């Protein structure tokens, strides 16, 4: 059901890419609720203290999951967007490089955290986010996504870091 609510946009942002757009899933109340439930329920008894969401779609999903788990929410943002003392990391993207940051006081040492984003592709953004969380002492329990693009190998990179991956749907190719 969820897979059918995700729109595919060919040749975006460049030729040959099949962009998986979750705005259609988010706009469907039943699909949105199902996605949040499926992301949250496996961790309902795991003692999660925080849900970390990657800008920007990870904020939408992560906030909803945090509410359901009665956990706090932590934004992971592009460099320069957070107002307080931050920790920053550079990372590689499918189309170049970027930097992201987290507030230095966002998580406590040994706090159980799950990471949420809409999609895992090459894994650059998610592995950088895991590194940021771990640099603050967080215990990253899982990395959770609505979509996995397994052909790009990102989920395997996360598993190699010792972090389980929880994805709701997979699409071949990219």
pTM of the model: 0.95
Residues designated as active site: 57, 94
Contacts from 4-8 at CB under 8 Å and sequence distance 24+? Answer: 5/31, 6/146, 6/147, 6/169, 8/171
60: Cβ contacts below 8 Å, ≥ 6 apart: 26, 53
Whether the predicted pLDDT of 4 surpasses 80: yes
Q: Which of 106, 116, 120 is nearest to 148 (CA)?
A: 120
- pLDDT one-digit tens code per residue, 10-25: 999 889 889 999 999 9
CB atoms within 10 A of CB 86: 18
What is the rounded average pLDDT of the residues 36-62?
98
Which residue ranges make up each domain of the chain? Answer: 3-170
Q: CATH says 3-170 is which class?
A: alpha beta
Q: Report pLDDT for 94.
A: 65
- pLDDT one-digit tens code per residue, 102-123: 999 999 999 999 999 999 999 9
């Amino acid at each position: 059901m969820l897979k059918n609510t995700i729109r595919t946009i060919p040749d975006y942002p460049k030729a040959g890419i099949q962009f998986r757009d979750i705005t259609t899933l988010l706009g469907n109340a039943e699909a949105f609720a199902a996605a949040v439930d499926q992301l949250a329920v496996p961790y309902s008894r795991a003692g999660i203290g925080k849900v970390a969401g990657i800008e920007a779609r990870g904020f939408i999903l992560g906030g909803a999951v945090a509410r359901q788990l009665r956990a706090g929410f932590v934004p992971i943002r592009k460099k320069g967007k957070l107002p307080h003392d931050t920790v920053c990391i550079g990372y590689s993207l499918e189309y170049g490089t970027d930097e992201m940051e987290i507030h230095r006081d966002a998580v406590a040492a040994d706090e159980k955290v799950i990471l949420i984003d809409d999609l895992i592709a090459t894994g650059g953004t998610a592995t950088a986010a895991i590194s940021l969380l771990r640099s603050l002492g967080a215990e990253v329990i899982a990395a959770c996504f609505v979509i996995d693009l397994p052909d790009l190998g990102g989920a395997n990179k996360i598993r190699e870091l010792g972090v389980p991956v929880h994805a709701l749907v997979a699409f071949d190719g990219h």
